Amino acid sequence: MKEDCHLSFLKVKKLNPQANSDSNLVLRFQYALKFVEVLEQKKRIINIDETWINEKDFRRKCWRQRYVSNTIGTTAVAPRITFMVAIDTDGSVFYTLS
Confirm if 80 and 53 have CB atoms less than 8 A apart.
Answer: yes
Q: Which of helix, strand or coil describes residue 11?
A: strand
Q: Is the pTM of this model over 0.85?
A: no
> How many domains does the chain contain in total?
1
- Angle, CA of 6, 9 and 11, to the nearest 5°: 140
Averaged pLDDT for residues 57-74: 69
User: What's the CA gap between 15 and 71, in Å, rounded?
Assistant: 8
Instruction: Note down the domain range covering 65.
Output: 2-97
Residue-wise pLDDT for 18-54, tens only, equals 666 788 889 999 999 999 999 999 999 999 998 877 6
Tally Cβ neighbours within 10 Å of residue 53: 13
